[in-house]
Amino acid sequence: MSISNPGLIFLSAFIVNNILLMRYIGLCPFFGVSTSLTTAFGMSAAVLFVMLLATWVTWIIHRFILLPLDIVFLRTATFILVIAALVQFVEMFLKKNFKTLYTAMGIYLPLITTNCAILGVTLLVINYNFDLARAIIFALGTALGFGLVIILFSAIRERLEFAPIVRSLKGYPIAFISASLVALAFLGFIGFLGLSL
């Protein structure tokens, strides 16, 4: 991806290259917590919060510690440990200072460490050679795209609960097939404003 216009980076991350439906990153929480609207909201708020923070911190670590010391091969290990520590820290901080925010998204925070969407975005930002501002815009677009799809999809799944479905299709299979149809709709955005997959 060689675009540098911040608006296009945002749109590309938000819709055209949507992280769940087009890139296939972060699917475990997508199918795990999209069973009801409230859990979907909590999860997307937590992802938005941690993704922005993690992208900011890992970008700085990569540029000012890993690159000057020439230890880029430690990238994967460093990033995942930083994200794990960050999530712990955020959880403790919210518990102490922002009780309401903690009750809204607290239980989703531990799940986020192994959410590949966070690590995926921090790695993609490095691969694309974004500067810090563009990296944050990319993370914002990705997190909002994650939230948009997971909230839309949870509404679909709430309807599916009461739909008469063949027994062997109940649960995951019908969720996958619905996801396929939603992804088909998003496929229509390919080439939108010259953005490609």
Q: Please, what is the minimum distance in Å from the beta carbon of residue 127 to other proteins? A: 7
Long-range contacts for 174-179 (Cβ within 8 Å, ≥24 apart)?
175/31, 175/34, 176/31, 178/153, 179/21, 179/30, 179/31, 179/153
Instruction: Name residue 168's amino acid.
Output: S
Region of 36-44, 60-68, 76-84, 151-159 interacting with other proteins (CB under 8 A) = 76-84
Q: Does 173 bind other proteins (CB under 8 A)?
A: yes
Both tokens assigned to 94: 């919210």
> Which distant-in-sequence residues (6+ apart) come within 8 Å of 39 by Cβ?
33, 108, 154
DSSP 102: H
* Nearest in space to 6 (alpha carbons), one of 125, 191, 133: 133
Q: Please, what is the minimum distance in Å from the beta carbon of residue 116 to other proteins? A: 4
Q: Cα–Cα distance between 158 and 40 in angstroms, integer? A: 11
Q: Does 65 bind other proteins (CB under 8 A)?
A: no
Q: Please, what is the minimum distance in Å from the beta carbon of residue 180 to other proteins? A: 4
- Answer for which of 9, 40, 47, 119 binds other proteins (CB under 8 A) is 119
Length of the chain: 197
List the x/- string, 145-164, binding to other proteins by CB under 8 A.
--------------------
Region of 2-10, 38-46, 55-63, 113-121 interacting with other proteins (CB under 8 A) = 113-121
List the x/- string, 23-62, binding to other proteins by CB under 8 A.
xxxxxx--x-------------------------------
Helix (H, G, I), strand (E, B) or coil at 5: coil
The contact set with other proteins (CB under 8 A) reads 21-28, 31, 73-77, 80-81, 84, 114-116, 119-120, 123-124, 127, 167-177, 179-181, 183-184, 186-187
